[in-house]
């Protein structure tokens, strides 16, 4: 179904940003929204196809998809779209030029999270599942509303190789972050995913220790098993949708400013005509991967529902775009949070497998909080709460 935006919506200052080292896509306003019959992947794909091919809209369709794909996504054609291509397109628009804080603000201890990890390991060891990703939240408040443009700019300056994203969610707030993880890219039918799983906090100021941590990560049976679950599932989805699929036998290491990840580039080619529907169907088949949910998926979802005490919403969902030719790029909505006025809710998760240590997973989530917390600290901070 093609649904034109209302006059009020078109006048709304909705802003979308998706920025990579190669390009920056910015959208303002809402020209038309994607309104499928249901939020199943096939219906969403058909609605996107209709909007771009029969709705008279050039596109692209932009927005975000929640962790729980049975819930509504935010997908629309912006009123105005600008592209900026070239090296360093992630850029620093909106940044005041100040460096992010060297350390993140102190975040509260979370005994409840460690207990959730312990209970998850018990269920894994009992054979209920192999892996689950458990997340936690923290809230940072300021003396005045956060400047979203500045947050986006500071995130780009601090994370030049990340996917910098911003999506306005109406009364819910604004989703902002710097994701390290590509879920699906399509360029003229060539499709790529770069899943990350298995990680260790890094010491950015100590290259020798970084090299040692890299060696340990590559040799870690726990981290390689965790990564293997994700790559196997991504490879299976690629084989259902694509030809000439290549899945690496060995992972590499991807370094962000705060953490080292095991990563594998999976590639293939869509067999038929390149189309928005083909990309969206494959995207919904991939999501959620074991990188943000677990394995097997139904069992992991049940454990998440039992042990997490908050609604993920758009956290660990997808953010990105697709155009009328079926080109597009979608990243996981990680390393960020939702900002509403002077309040920012941060999210971070860790993959739990047999042998996971609650204190280590708590420490990993604290490290992941730091990506967003450091740029928030550039603006006046008042309190931090769970």
Q: Which of the residues are catalytic?
A: 131, 181
Neighbouring C-beta atoms of residue 130, cutoff 10 Å: 18
DSSP 313-379: TTTTSEEEEE-TTS-EEEEE--SEEEEETTEEEEEEEEEE-TT--HHHHHHHHHHHHHHHHHHHHTS
Contact 169, 75 (CB under 8 A): no
For the record, the structure tokens of 133 come out as: 């990703």
CA–CA gap between residue 164 and residue 180 (Å, rounded): 9
Per-residue b or e along 239-256, where b marks 16 or more CB atoms closer than 10 Å to that residue's CB:
eebbeebebeeebebbbb
CA 120 to chain centre: 23
Work out the end-to-end distance of the chain between its first and last CA atoms, rounded to an integer number of angstroms: 41
Bridge-based pairing of strands 318-322 and 163-168 is unpaired
3-state secondary structure of 309: coil
């Amino acid at each position: 179904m093609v649904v034109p935006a209302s006059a009020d919506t078109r006048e709304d200052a909705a802003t979308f940003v998706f920025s990579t080292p190669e390009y920056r896509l910015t959208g303002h306003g809402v020209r038309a929204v994607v309104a499928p019959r249901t939020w199943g992947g096939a219906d969403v794909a058909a609605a996107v196809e209709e909007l771009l091919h029969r709705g008279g809209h050039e596109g692209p369709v932009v927005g975000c998809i929640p962790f729980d794909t049975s819930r509504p996504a935010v997908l629309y054609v912006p009123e105005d779209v600008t592209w900026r291509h070239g090296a360093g397109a992630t850029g620093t628009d909106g940044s005041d030029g100040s460096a992010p804080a060297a350390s993140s603000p102190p975040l509260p201890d979370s005994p409840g999270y460690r207990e959730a990890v312990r209970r998850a390991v018990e269920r894994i060891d009992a054979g209920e599942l192999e892996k689950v990703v458990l997340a936690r939240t923290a809230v940072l408040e300021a003396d005045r509303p956060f400047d979203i443009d500045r947050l986006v700019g500071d995130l780009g300056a601090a994370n030049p190789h990340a996917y910098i994203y911003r999506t306005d969610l109406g009364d819910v707030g604004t989703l902002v972050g710097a994701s390290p993880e590509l879920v699906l890219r399509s360029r003229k039918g060539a499709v790529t995913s770069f899943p990350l799983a298995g990680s260790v906090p890094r010491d950015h100021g100590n290259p020798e220790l970084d090299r040692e941590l890299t060696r340990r990560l590559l040799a870690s049976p726990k981290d390689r098993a965790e990564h293997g679950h994700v790559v196997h599932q991504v490879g299976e989805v690629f084989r259902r949708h694509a030809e000439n699929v290549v899945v690496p036998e060995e992972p590499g290491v991807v370094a962000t400013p705060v953490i080292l990840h095991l990563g594998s580039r999976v590639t293939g080619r869509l067999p038929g005509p390149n189309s928005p529907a083909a990309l969206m169907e494959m995207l919904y088949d991939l999501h959620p991967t074991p990188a943000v949910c677990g394995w097997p998926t139904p069992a992991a979802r049940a454990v998440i529902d039992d042990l997490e005490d908050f609604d993920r919403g758009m956290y660990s969902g997808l953010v990105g775009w697709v155009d009328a030719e079926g080109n597009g790029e979608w990243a996981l909505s990680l390393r960020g949070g939702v900002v509403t006025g002077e309040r920012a809710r941060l999210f971070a998760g860790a993959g739990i497998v047999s042998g996971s240590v609650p204190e280590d997973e708590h420490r990993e989530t604290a490290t992941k909080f730091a990506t967003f917390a450091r740029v928030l600290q550039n603006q006046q901070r008042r309190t931090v709460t769970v």
